[in-house]
């Protein structure tokens, strides 16, 4: 019993320090924002990641740093616990890249990478998505280390690249074998505990085996013309209509708790086709984005879209003989114009959910909302690797990616308090324990 009182006092003292040292927290967020890491164009996080690696190294972490793309390295810091084999381990994950920002075109009041505080809000690109979350989690760990807390369980901090353009730095961490008993992605969630649906992009291509001069179009479209040919652009119209019908069918037949009806959308985002005005279009390519629910996976969804469109093609005399072809996913919206974000289901009765809820309620005196994010994060890759994962971070989606992006300073402070509490409890809990009551 005495040990638990000591733990409670220890955490309380750390929380008091966050209030007293909030200027340091804000300064750390500002420091991260000053590194211009927009993606696209990407290939610009090297300096920021070197800074982050240095911060972790100073806190006693062993550093693994490697380039995913040139000048875009991942940083993984590992702090081995004193009793790793018995106590729970935790991954804290966040991305260093931010949404693109063009100050001369978007109406920014100040340079996006010159942070400032006004009326209790911290402004700058990445404050909400998601350098605020990175800084808050790092500051929480800094306080734990400075106070002499020795965590029994392992703590792994991943600062990754490529989240904004589907380059999946987190996937590389999973492929290198980093795992834990739980993970928290400190991305934008308004301090709700969240899972997410998934996203996959794909290219649908309609292609004619022959190319025709536009003068023979008459022979394609009039009775007796004698030419079994078609414009790929016009045939793509049928494909688009087929996608719309499938989207509407999904809206009626599929649902998932925590999502409004119809969140599983199919967006015809980009279309490319034709040579120039003297030719009948012999090829048309459509870039689509498909959103799906947490109880679905990207491979099954891709196959469902393919099967539907192939059935659409069967109803058209020309498409029947020249069906659409498909390319799905990709490792980069920049490099190969494709991405995958796996869905992330969460167990409301999971130990990680209960632990984070206790940490949150100890600060806010009320339970957090457990919900589903309307967007996607790297959390799906961690969940796909078999790691129980939660999304929990400061900031809101109304500010993420927006002009004059900002985050509440008070929310940053409260988030940091929750992270101190959660990390302390989780890594002090034996794997077989149901809970560790602070």
Q: Render pLDDT for 341-379 as a digit per residue (tens, 0 to 9).
A: 999 999 999 999 999 999 999 999 999 999 999 999 999
Neighbours of 301 (CB within 10 A): 23
Does 128 lie in the same domain as 62? yes
Radius of gyration, CA atoms only, the chain:
25
Report if residue 435 sits inside a domain: no
Query: Domain total for the chain?
Result: 2
Structure tokens belonging to residue 106: 């978007």
Report the alpha-carbon distance of residue 322 to residue 304 in Å, rounded. Answer: 19
At 4 the pLDDT is 43
Q: What are phi and psi of 339, to 5 degrees?
A: -160, 160
Query: What's 218's domain CATH number?
Result: 3.30.70.360
Does 111 lie in the same domain as 80? yes
Average pLDDT over residues 15-40: 97
Pairing of strands 370-373, 193-196: parallel
Report if residue 138 sits inside a domain: yes
Which pLDDT band holds residue 437 (cuts at 50, 70, 90)? very low
Average pLDDT over residues 53-73: 98
At 5 the pLDDT is 40
Does 314 lie in the same domain as 284? yes
What is the reported pTM?
0.93
Per-residue pLDDT tens over the stretch 240-269 = 999 999 999 999 999 999 999 899 999 999
Q: Are residues 171 and 383 in contact, defined by beta-carbon separation less than 8 angstroms?
A: no
At 232 the pLDDT is 96
Q: Is the pLDDT of residue 143 over 80?
A: yes
Report the alpha-carbon distance of residue 82 to residue 80 in Å, rounded. Answer: 7
- DSSP secondary structure letter of residue 36: -
Q: Is the pLDDT of residue 203 over 80?
A: yes
302 preceded by a cis bond (ω within 30 of 0): no
**Where are the alpha helices (H) located in 151-290, listed in sequence order?**
169-175, 217-221, 232-253
Average pLDDT over residues 234-245: 97
Q: Which of 282, 314, 340 is the last residue of a domain?
A: 340
Q: Residue 195 forms beta bridges with which residues?
A: 372
Report the alpha-carbon distance of residue 254 to residue 264 in Å, rounded. Answer: 8
Q: Is the pLDDT of residue 436 over 70?
A: no
Does 143 lie in the same domain as 250? no
Exposed / middle / buried, residue 109 (Cβ in 10 Å: 0-12, 13-18, 19+): exposed
Does 222 lie in the same domain as 325? yes
At 107 the pLDDT is 85
Does 258 lie in the same domain as 229? yes
Report the alpha-carbon distance of residue 35 to residue 125 in Å, rounded. Answer: 10
Average pLDDT over residues 155-160: 98
Structural element, H or E, at residue 244: helix 232-253
Question: Which of the pair, 172 or 438, is modelled with greater confidence?
Answer: 172
Opening angle at CA 45, ends 335 and 111, nearest 5 = 105
Report if residue 434 sits inside a domain: no
Per-residue pLDDT tens over the stretch 381-417 = 999 999 999 999 999 999 999 999 999 999 999 999 9
Q: Residue 338 forms beta bridges with which residues?
A: 332
At 226 the pLDDT is 76
- State whether the Cα torsion 30-31-32-36 is positive or negative: positive
At 219 the pLDDT is 86
Q: Which of 276, 311, 340 is the last residue of a domain?
A: 340
Task: Please give the positions annotated as active site.
Answer: 97, 163
Structural element, H or E, at residue 291: strand 283-292
Name the least confident of 101-115, 128-142, 260-274. 101-115
Q: Which of 340, 374, 392 is the last residue of a domain?
A: 340
- State whether the Cα torsion 42-46-52-56 is positive or negative: positive
Exposed / middle / buried, residue 242 (Cβ in 10 Å: 0-12, 13-18, 19+): buried
Opening angle at CA 259, ends 257 and 262, nearest 5 = 120
At 192 the pLDDT is 98
Average pLDDT over residues 31-57: 98
Q: 3-class secondary structure for 77-91?
A: EEECCCCCCCECCEE
Structural element, H or E, at residue 19: helix 2-20
Report the alpha-carbon distance of residue 271 to residue 269 in Å, rounded. Answer: 7
> What integer best gives the mean pLDDT of the chain?
94
Query: What's 8's domain CATH number?
Result: 3.40.630.10
Structural domain boundaries, residue 381 = 2-197+344-427
Q: Is the pLDDT of residue 380 over 70?
A: yes
Q: Is the pLDDT of residue 104 over 90?
A: no
Report the alpha-carbon distance of residue 279 to residue 392 in Å, rounded. Answer: 53
Question: Which of the pair, 249 or 8, is modelled with greater confidence?
Answer: 249
Exposed / middle / buried, residue 366 (Cβ in 10 Å: 0-12, 13-18, 19+): exposed
- DSSP secondary structure letter of residue 278: T
At 227 the pLDDT is 86
At 168 the pLDDT is 87
Closest CA to 409 of 209, 161, 136, 155: 136
Report the alpha-carbon distance of residue 8 to residue 204 in Å, rounded. Answer: 57
At 3 the pLDDT is 42
Report if residue 85 sits inside a domain: yes
At 1 the pLDDT is 35
Report if residue 437 sits inside a domain: no
At 2 the pLDDT is 36
At 6 the pLDDT is 60
């Amino acid at each position: 019993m005495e040990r638990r009182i000591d733990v409670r006092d220890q955490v309380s003292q750390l929380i008091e320090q966050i209030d007293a040292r909030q200027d340091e927290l804000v300064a750390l967020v500002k420091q991260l924002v000053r590194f211009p890491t927009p993606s696209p164009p990407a290939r610009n996080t090297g300096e920021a990641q070197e800074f982050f690696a240095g911060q972790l190294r100073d806190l006693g972490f062993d550093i693994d740093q490697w380039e995913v793309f040139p000048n875009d390295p991942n940083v993984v810091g590992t702090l081995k616990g004193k009793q790793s084999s018995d106590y729970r381990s935790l991954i804290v994950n966040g991305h260093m890249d931010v949404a693109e920002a063009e100050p001369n075109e978007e109406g920014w009041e100040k340079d996006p990478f010159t942070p400032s505080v006004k009326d209790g809000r911290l402004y700058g690109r990445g404050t909400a998505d998601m350098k605020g979350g990175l800084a808050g989690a790092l500051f929480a760990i800094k306080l734990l280390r400075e106070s002499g807390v020795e965590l029994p369980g392992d703590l792994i901090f991943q600062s990754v690249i490529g989240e904004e353009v589907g380059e999946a730095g987190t996937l590389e961490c999973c492929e290198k074998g980093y795992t834990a008993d739980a993970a928290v992605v400190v991305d934008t969630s308004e301090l709700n505990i969240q899972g997410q649906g998934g996203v996959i992009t794909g290219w649908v291509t309609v292609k004619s085996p022959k190319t025709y001069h536009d003068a023979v179009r008459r022979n394609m479209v009039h009775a007796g013309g004698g030419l079994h040919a078609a414009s790929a652009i016009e045939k793509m119209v049928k494909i688009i209509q087929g996608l719309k019908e499938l989207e509407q069918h999904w809206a009626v037949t599929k649902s998932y708790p925590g999502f409004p009806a119809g969140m599983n959308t199919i967006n015809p985002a980009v279309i490319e086709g034709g040579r120039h005005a003297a030719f009948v279009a012999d090829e048309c390519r459509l870039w689509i984005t498909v959103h799906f629910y947490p109880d679905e996976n990207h491979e099954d969804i891709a196959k469902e879209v393919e099967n539907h469109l192939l059935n659409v093609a069967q109803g058209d005399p020309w498409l029947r003989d020249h069906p659409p072809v498909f390319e799905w996913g990709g490792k980069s919206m920049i490099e190969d114009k494709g991405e995958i974000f796996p869905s992330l289901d969460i167990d409301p009765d999971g130990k990680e959910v209960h632990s984070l809820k206790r940490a949150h309620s100890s600060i806010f005196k009320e339970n957090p909302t457990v919900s589903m994010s309307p967007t996607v994060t790297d959390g799906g890759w961690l969940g796909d690797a078999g790691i129980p994962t939660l999304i929990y971070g400061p900031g809101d989606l109304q500010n993420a990616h927006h002009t004059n992006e900002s985050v509440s300073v008070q929310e940053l402070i409260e988030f940091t308090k929750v992270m101190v509490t959660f990390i302390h409890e989780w890594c002090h809990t034996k794997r077989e324990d149901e809970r560790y009551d602070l």
